[in-house]
Amino acid sequence: MDLLTRTMKVKNLALELGFDACGFARAEPLSDEARRLESWLREGRHGQMDWMERHFEKRVDPTKLVTGTKSVISVIGSYHYPDNLAYDRKPGVPKIAKYARGRDYHKVFKKKLHTMFDRMKKQIGNIHGRVFVDSAPVMDKAWAERAGLGWIGKNSNLLNREYGSFFLIGEILVDLEFHYNAPGTDHCGSCTKCIDACPTDAIYEPYRIDSNRCISYLTIELKERIPEEFRDKLGEWMFGCDICQDVCPWNHNAKPGQIEDLKPRKIMMKEDLSFWKSLTETDYKELFNGTPVRRAKYPRFRENAAIAAENLSG
């Protein structure tokens, strides 16, 4: 089987499973990204996310993460749905980041990628590889950019001309060669809307994020009480934040998603502030079972909800 035929077979498998796009990149060290990551970590921009410091060599070189890897296959799946847009247009409502309103994408993507890999084996033969969904030292945005699925924008999110940035990324590292895509090119131009809109100035310069100031980090990863200087800036956000994506022009006409499990659950868009403020730990576990919100843990979410309620009531 020639490279082009093999590449098209795998791409078609990805599309059949509901992914919006699939791209291919040669597995090799991420030299430029490694230097930037090292500098970013040295400056402490990762906050309490100590896991980002671990396995550095594997993080910047997939051949050290999975022996024999020749290619990185990247896929994206959108969570851009009309229900999300309709809710977010309402003024003064408590919010959970759009990616977390449906089923946990780790589970959704992993299941699909394992199915995709099994079908690859049947169609291509004896191959070896591993599936990853934001669960190991893989620089997913860098690989998706190299695979031609978009470019890393000024808000550090991957942007795609058709799907904006409201999508998730997964990879298969495999010991096969493919017809590789040209890397994505930057289409942010002179736009600074994401930088201007960030209420905490987390985008300290184009393409650079200080996690210590990011609302997503503060409402999910931070272990201590949220500092006073940021509490009012959290606005309505109880988990995560979409501000820098909501203002991005590339999201204004983005194509809608098609993966059913990523569609928002109605309960995630409940407007009643008293409901969120009075949520018990048992309610929290039941309500958010199987969703990304469980990552925040109950004490963190309870504080976030109280801050959001205070901001919206004031």
Q: What percentage of the chain's residues is helix, strand, coil (to nearest 5)?
A: 45, 10, 40
For the question of residue 134 being annotated catalytic, the response is yes
For residue 149, report the phi and psi dihedrals to the nearest 5 degrees.
-90, 5
What string of DSSP letters covers 1-47? --HHHHHHHHHHHHHHTT-SEEEEEE----HHHHHHHHHHHHTTTTT
Please state the φ and ψ torsions of residue 210, each to the nearest 5 degrees: -95, 105
CA gap 91, 312 in Å, rounded? 10
Q: Are 45 and 36 within 8 A, CB to CB?
A: no
User: Pick from 236, 69, 72: which is nearest to 148 by CA?
Assistant: 72
**Run of H or E residues at 311:** helix 298-313
Catalytic site residue from 61, 83, 88, 134: 134
First-to-final CA distance of the chain: 65
**Would you please indicate which residues are annotated as catalytic (active-site) residues?**
134
